Amino acid sequence: MEIIYRSFLASLEPPARPATDACSLCRRPIAPRYETCLTCVDTIGQVTRPASLVIPIAFYRLGSPAHAVLRGYKDHPTPSIRRTLSGHVARLVAAFLAQHRACIASAARTDWDAIVVVPSTTRPGSKHPLHLALASSPALASELVVGLHRTTAHLDHNHASDQAYRPASGVLRRRVLLIDDTYTTGARLHSAASALQTSDVRVVAAVVVGRILDQDQPLTRRGSASARPPFRLKACLLCGPAAKYTASGQIATD
């Protein structure tokens, strides 16, 4: 089951730009009468200082090659495949940050001086596979720090908490780019951001590799794969050409 980097990228979908009818935080398409999706509203209401700028590199769907990569780099039973998939994830993040650092710093009005991966909830005490993946990238390793520790406070998809993580001393008073691999409800990400920001750490932005879309979320015209806008590494949601969405979340064809 080796998924080549190209098919990983090809199965990603571009996030909606701010000008379009999308959630102000996770960027998934929503009806124009809402500013923020109900999932994000629910999550950020549970913490004191959630992340205010969330940048998904891409969207992806369950069952896609992107899903296989973003799961398999953590838990594929074959170590050599895990290593390959880890390399894909690190390569994507490194390329994205190299191309869009200025976009993110401009939107946040400051650059970062440290990169922190949201710790694992299922592997307490060990480094998150994303941290290990990014550490193998020379471009990212120099800024990567272990900035958070998981506590025993309750945390799950439906329960975010200021107490779920404890900042490491090495990150205090720094400007941090927070990174996580997936965003479903944002509970882990906003809990991590809140733990940092209530402890004198500036969270410049939170980058997520992939925001999961529901299988039936109509970002594409049903039955017409060609209507799906291609994912392009050279465009982020802050600088790319706007994909236009109709009120029902489909790509407009004008």
Q: Using only the alpha carbons of the chain, give its radius of gyration.
A: 17
Q: Which of 22, 23, 68, 92 binds Zn ion (CB under 5 A)?
A: 23
The reply to whether 236 sits near Zn ion by the rule CB under 5 A is: yes
Which among 117-125, 144-152, 219-227, 228-236 is the span making contact with Zn ion, rule CB under 5 A? Answer: 228-236
Least distance to Zn ion, CB of residue 205, Å = 12
Which among 34-42, 112-120, 143-151, 208-216 is the span making contact with Zn ion, rule CB under 5 A? Answer: 34-42
Q: Which of 37, 44, 178, 206 binds Zn ion (CB under 5 A)?
A: 37
The reply to whether 128 sits near Zn ion by the rule CB under 5 A is: no
Nearest by Cα to 236 from 89, 55, 9, 60: 55
Q: Which of 9, 12, 26, 171 binds Zn ion (CB under 5 A)?
A: 26
Give 153 or 239: the residue with its C-beta nearer to Zn ion. Answer: 239
Give 23 or 177: the residue with its C-beta nearer to Zn ion. Answer: 23
The CA–CA distances, whole Å, from 123 to 133, 193, 200, 235 equal 15, 19, 26, 34
- Give the phi and the psi of residue 48 in degrees, each rounded to 5: -80, -45
Which residue type does 5 have? Y
Least distance to Zn ion, CB of residue 103, Å = 3
Give 5 or 34: the residue with its C-beta nearer to Zn ion. Answer: 34
Give 98 or 172: the residue with its C-beta nearer to Zn ion. Answer: 98
Tell how strand 114-117 and strand 175-183 pair up. Answer: parallel
E strands, 31-157, where? 54-61, 114-117, 148-150
Least distance to Zn ion, CB of residue 34, Å = 9
The reply to whether 3 sits near Zn ion by the rule CB under 5 A is: no
Q: Provide the token pair at 68.
A: 């296989």
Give 23 or 171: the residue with its C-beta nearer to Zn ion. Answer: 23
- Decide: residue 126, CB within 10 A, 0-12 exposed, 13-18 middle, 19+ buried: exposed
Within 79-118, the residues that bind Zn ion by CB under 5 A are 100, 103
Gap between the Cα atoms of 194 and 107, Å rounded: 20
Gap between the Cα atoms of 169 and 90, Å rounded: 26
Least distance to Zn ion, CB of residue 28, Å = 6
Nearest by Cα to 12 from 53, 55, 49, 60: 60
Which residues make up the interface to Zn ion (CB under 5 A)? 23, 25-26, 37, 40, 100, 103, 236, 238-239
